[in-house]
Structure 1
């Protein structure tokens, strides 16, 4: 029998949850607020919360200085492209690990996940030289490839977890009805795992959108996404906090809006199979 939760315990849990939520959200709130200040007001001491002259000058200056929409489109192509390519590769791999298990399956999964523990700077030089020699440097195609390889272990691991929750008998019945391997994956397995695949896609779009290390080191101008757009407002002359905040707000707004509207699907996918 489940233990009843007292009103006092509920109040404490709610207070802790709200406190953590405010602490996590405050940097975003402060960034948005600072973007409407002048540079002098942005560095005022004590800080100004609402009693300042609101202005859109920073947004105008940012758009005049940088082509925001070009960087935005680069981010969309790179994040969505790398995620879709990763899913295309990961679905058959996760299917093989989930439904054709072997003694080394867990070892392979752990090895794949362990590659995420490698510091990216450790392989920067060889990847940079390869990209330079084959003509992929400062191209969206190059970034799609490298971000696919970086996030592929996470995609495979998540899809493997979701596929394991699907009864193997259903796939066996499809085979007995004459389904080919392609039909089994496309028309039986994939529709049943839509919540898990959707949450995997959303999570990896966010990861690719926020990736800064590779986008800053493998691009210059042509394929620069919004991470490079933000970094351009850090100069040797100093930081322009108001303009940097405006650029940051413009960069994070699309992914925040997407996350807000897709949070139900994301939570559903992340909890897929958790309750039987």
Structure 2
């Protein structure tokens, strides 16, 4: 009896220790993941001399000079281009992906697996393998260094992923709700816009945010197909590394400002994002 009592007394203590250890490990992993970002933001407030020291320095004079330098070197136009390409491509992707995914889930077509495989097969070829014909086509159309053309290319890149994501969200909508709407006389447009979309709104937000991030961070096409007028943020950031070396402080300042729109968008959509990703999870 005494042994059983001792075990019962040790059980809460062991559970508490394990919980504390798991919490510490979680915080340690989280800090390790976010430390490079925190260090980038901290470096953005340093001078180039302090940022380039062999031994990292912490207690240094901080200022906003690097941010002023970045803005003076043309940050605003490339941010506008990135926002234009990302928002325009995301809106077009959603406008195409929502009805396509609806037809593949709630109103299924014949052999939807073939259509899904076709969509995802468009991602099999590396972008580098198709860049020459794409460049020649855009050059013939006079659309090189054009933000609209770049946005349409981002639509082609993100559309298959968006269709797959939205299909998983639509598949979790109870069929009874749709049948009840049909009994009440709802047509296809009413059924989709007023009944189904409010239910999968978190999934739409998650899909939109992921497509926005992918378009915002795209580097290869933006580097090859733009030069001045349609230059976006990723290739513009690469301009801070040249033959004279890496300008770490100003590059950190530019990178900090470049990630702010994505961080703000993620923060505004965080509740719907979590719910949306949970909707598409496999139970």
Counterpart contact for 1:34–1:42, Cα < 8 Å: yes
Aligned equivalent of 1:125, options 121, 125, 132: 132
Distance 1:27 1:138 in 2: 33
Distance 2:89 2:247 in 1: 32
Distance 2:169 2:113 in 1: 15
Counterpart contact for 1:199–1:266, Cα < 8 Å: yes
The aligned runs of 1:17-96 (5 Å cut-off) are 17-48=26-57, 50-66=58-74, 68-96=75-103
Structure 2 unaligned blocks of 5 or more? 1-11
Q: Does 1:202 align with 2:209?
A: yes
**Deviation (angstroms), 1:77:** 1.2
Mark the CA change 1:182 to 1:261 in structure 2 (over 3 Å): closer, same or farther: closer
SS of the residue 1:99 aligns to: coil
Q: Does 1:98 align with 2:105?
A: yes
Counterpart contact for 2:105–2:167, Cα < 8 Å: yes
**Deviation (angstroms), 1:254:** 2.0
Q: Does 1:15 align with 2:24?
A: yes
Counterpart contact for 1:71–1:224, Cα < 8 Å: yes
Mark the CA change 1:238 to 1:273 in structure 2 (over 3 Å): closer, same or farther: closer
Mark the CA change 1:139 to 1:197 in structure 2 (over 3 Å): closer, same or farther: same
Q: How many matched pairs?
A: 271
Q: Does 1:256 align with 2:263?
A: yes
Which protein has the larger Cα radius of gyration, Structure 1 or Structure 2? Answer: 2
Which residue pairs with 2:242 in the alignment?
235
SS of the residue 1:52 aligns to: coil
* CA displacement, residues 177-196 of structure 1 (integer Å, 9 cap, x when unaligned): 33222222222221221111
**Deviation (angstroms), 1:111:** 3.9
Mark the CA change 1:115 to 1:21 in structure 2 (over 3 Å): closer, same or farther: farther
TM-score for both structures, normalised by structure 1? 0.90
SS of the residue 1:271 aligns to: helix
TM-score for both structures, normalised by structure 2? 0.88
**Deviation (angstroms), 1:9:** 3.0
Structure 1 unaligned blocks of 5 or more? none
Distance 1:146 1:275 in 2: 31
Distance 1:212 1:186 in 2: 35
Which residue pairs with 2:15 in the alignment?
6
Distance 1:262 1:180 in 2: 30
Distance 1:166 1:93 in 2: 16
**Deviation (angstroms), 1:173:** 2.8
Counterpart contact for 2:70–2:253, Cα < 8 Å: yes
SS of the residue 1:82 aligns to: helix
Counterpart contact for 1:71–1:225, Cα < 8 Å: yes
